[in-house]
């Protein structure tokens, strides 16, 4: 499968625990996005990377959240001291750019990681 | 800034009937517009997109959408609904490198 891969697909954790999610983008896609989707809502932008550089963070991304893309390939999203309000689907997407423009102008999404905080 | 409004959080149609899902957008720059479909506990799959050029765009599974700049709309249609079309549909606008999504429309298809 050459699509965007996310791991795990489901995560149940107790409030206060830390969790980490992984995203493997499509090979050669240099741009990687994280979105959060709560029940009954559309996805909301969290952050994105161009190669290994994190270029933008939403104000939704509190200081308990951190994302990395250390070698410009896979990315991790960590949530520290989880709260019940963090329960959501976390979606990763990737795209490819050509110069300053996105070559295909579309982002390809993974299956998501569903987080439940109890 | 950009935003998307999807009118109708739930739409129900009979199998074989016309599907019409409404989307209006606002954008401070010329927009790229997208429709995505999401099945339960799945990620998003691209149905179609408008970037430049022809304002009527065709996508997968028989869906199409028309970009109307004067109405700031990008409504999604399909002439004949199939049971397999039952899903959540999201309209999105891309500007300044990120997608902004609407709240989604759940399409129900009945026999």
**Interchain pair A4, B43: CB under 8 A:** yes
The arithmetic mean of pLDDT across residues B69-80, rounded, is 96
**Does residue A112 or residue A103 have the better pLDDT?**
A112
List the Cα angle A91/A95/A97 in 5-degree steps: 150
Comparing CA positions, the residue from A102, A110, A64, A106 lying closest to residue A86 is A64
pLDDT digits (tens, 9 = 90+) for A50-105: 999 999 899 888 899 999 999 889 999 999 999 999 999 999 999 987 665 555 56
**Radius of gyration, CA atoms only, chain A:** 14
Q: Looking at residue A103, what is its pLDDT?
A: 53
Q: Looking at residue A84, what is its pLDDT?
A: 96
Q: CB atoms < 10 A from the CB of A6, how many?
A: 23
pLDDT digits (tens, 9 = 90+) for B14-36: 999 999 999 999 988 888 999 99
In B, residues 40-59, which contact A (CB 8 Å cutoff)? 41-46, 49, 51
Tokens representing B24 are 């209006």
pLDDT digits (tens, 9 = 90+) for A12-32: 999 999 999 999 999 989 899
Minimal Cβ distance to A105: which of B42, B51, B98: B51
């Amino acid at each position: 499968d050459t699509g965007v891969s996310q791991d795990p697909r489901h995560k149940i954790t107790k409030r206060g625990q830390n969790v980490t999610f992984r995203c493997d983008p499509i090979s050669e896609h240099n741009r990687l996005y994280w979105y959060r989707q709560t029940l009954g809502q559309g996805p909301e932008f969290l952050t994105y990377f161009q190669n290994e550089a994190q270029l933008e963070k939403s104000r939704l991304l509190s200081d308990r959240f951190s994302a990395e893309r250390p070698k410009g390939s896979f990315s991790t999203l960590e949530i520290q001291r989880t709260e019940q309000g963090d329960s959501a689907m976390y979606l990763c997407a990737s795209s490819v750019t050509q110069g300053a423009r996105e070559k295909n102008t579309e982002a390809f999404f993974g299956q998501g990681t569903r987080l439940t905080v109890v | 800034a950009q935003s998307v409004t999807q009118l109708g959080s739930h739409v129900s149609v009979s199998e074989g009937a016309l599907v019409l899902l409404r989307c209006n957008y606002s954008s401070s720059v010329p927009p790229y517009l997208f429709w995505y479909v999401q099945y339960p506990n799945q990620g998003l799959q691209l149905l179609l997109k408008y970037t430049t050029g022809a304002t009527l765009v065709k996508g997968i599974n028989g869906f199409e959408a028309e970009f109307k700049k004067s109405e700031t709309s990008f409504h999604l249609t399909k002439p004949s609904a199939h049971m397999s079309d039952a899903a959540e549909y999201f309209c999105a606008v891309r500007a300044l490198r990120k997608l902004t999504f609407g709240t989604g429309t759940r399409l129900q298809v009945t026999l």
